[in-house]
A and B are shown apart, each in its own frame.
Chain A
Amino acid sequence: MSRDTALVSADWAEKNLETPGVVFVEVDEDTTAYDGGHIPGAIKLDWKKDLQDPVRRDFVNQEQFSALLSGRGISNDDTVVLYGGNNNWFAAYAYWYFKLYGHGDVKLLDGGRKKWELDARPYAKDVPSRAKTSYQASAPDLSIRAFRDEVVQSIGVKNLVDVRSPDEYAGRLLAPAHLPQEQSQRAGHIPTAISVPWSKAANEDGTFKSNDELSKIYGEAGLDGGKDTIAYCRIGERSSHTWFVLKELLGQQNVKNYDGSWTEYGSLIGVPIALGDEPGKA
Chain B
Amino acid sequence: MTSPSNVAAGCAAPDQSAPLPAGVDLEKETVITGVVRNGDGEAVGGAYVRLLDASGEFTAEVVSSPEGVFRFFAAPGSWTLRALSRSGNGDLTVDAARGINEVAISVAAA
Q: Do A and B interact?
A: yes
Binary A-proximity of B1-45 (CB < 8 A = 1, otherwise 0): 111100111111111000001011000110000000000000000
Contact B74 A29 (CB under 8 A): no
Contact B57 A29 (CB under 8 A): no
Q: Which residues of A contact B3 (CB under 8 A)?
A: 182-184
Identify the closest chain B residue to A28 (Cβ). Answer: B12
Contact B4 A180 (CB under 8 A): yes
A118-B84, A179-B11, A237-B10 known; 7 new pairs, CB 8 Å cut-off, are: A29-B11, A175-B11, A177-B72, A178-B61, A179-B7, A181-B29, A183-B3
Shortest Cβ distance from residue A19 to the other chain B in the assembled complex, whole angstroms? 27
Is B75 at the interface (CB under 8 A from chain A)? yes
Q: Which residues of A contact B9 (CB under 8 A)?
A: 48, 235
Task: Determine the main DSSP class of B at the interface with A.
Answer: loop
User: Given A47-B10, A166-B53, A184-B2, A199 and B58 touching (CB < 8 A)?
Assistant: yes
Q: Please, how many angstroms separate the alpha-carbon atoms of A86 and B23 in the complex?
A: 24
Contact B21 A176 (CB under 8 A): no
Contact A30 B4 (CB under 8 A): no
Q: Which residues of B contact A89 (CB under 8 A)?
A: 11
Contact A180 B29 (CB under 8 A): yes
For this complex, 15 residue pairs linking A to B, each with C-beta atoms less than 8 Å apart, are A30-B12, A87-B61, A118-B48, A175-B11, A176-B11, A176-B59, A177-B59, A178-B13, A180-B7, A180-B23, A180-B29, A182-B4, A235-B10, A235-B11, A238-B11
Task: Determine the main DSSP class of A at the interface with B.
Answer: loop
Q: Which residues of B contact A181 (CB under 8 A)?
A: 28-29, 73
Q: How many residues of B contact A (CB 8 A)?
A: 40
Q: Which residues of B contact A178 (CB under 8 A)?
A: 11, 13-14, 51, 60-62, 71-73
Shortest Cβ distance from residue A47 to the other chain B in the assembled complex, whole angstroms? 7
Q: Which residues of A contact B71 (CB under 8 A)?
A: 178
Q: Please, how many angstroms separate the alpha-carbon atoms of A238 and B58 in the complex?
A: 13
Q: Which residues of B contact A127 (CB under 8 A)?
A: none
User: Given A178-B71, A179-B7, A165 and B58 touching (CB < 8 A)?
Assistant: yes
Contact A180 B1 (CB under 8 A): no
Is A33 at the interface (CB under 8 A from chain B)? yes
Q: Please, how many angstroms separate the alpha-carbon atoms of A170 and B33 in the complex?
A: 24
Q: Please, how many angstroms separate the alpha-carbon atoms of A117 and B64 in the complex?
A: 13
Interface residues on A, range: 35 or more
Binary A-proximity of B52-95 (CB < 8 A = 1, otherwise 0): 01010111111100000001111100000010111000000000
Q: Please, how many angstroms separate the alpha-carbon atoms of A156 and B109 in the complex?
A: 48
Q: Please, how many angstroms separate the alpha-carbon atoms of A238 and B10 in the complex?
A: 10
Q: Determine which of A29, A166, A180 lies in contact with B73 in the assembled complex, contact meaning CB atoms within 8 Å.
A: A180
Q: Which residues of A contact B99 (CB under 8 A)?
A: none
Is A105 at the interface (CB under 8 A from chain B)? no
Q: Please, how many angstroms separate the alpha-carbon atoms of A266 and B66 in the complex?
A: 36
Chain B CB within 10 A, most for which of A32, A166, A177, A183: A177
Identify the closest chain B residue to A237 (Cβ). Answer: B11
Q: Please, how many angstroms separate the alpha-carbon atoms of A266 and B10 in the complex?
A: 16
Q: Which residues of A contact B21 (CB under 8 A)?
A: 180
Identify the closest chain A residue to B74 (Cβ). Answer: A177
Is A234 at the interface (CB under 8 A from chain B)? yes
Is A205 at the interface (CB under 8 A from chain B)? yes
Interface residues of A in 160-195 (CB under 8 A from B): 165-167, 172-173, 175-184
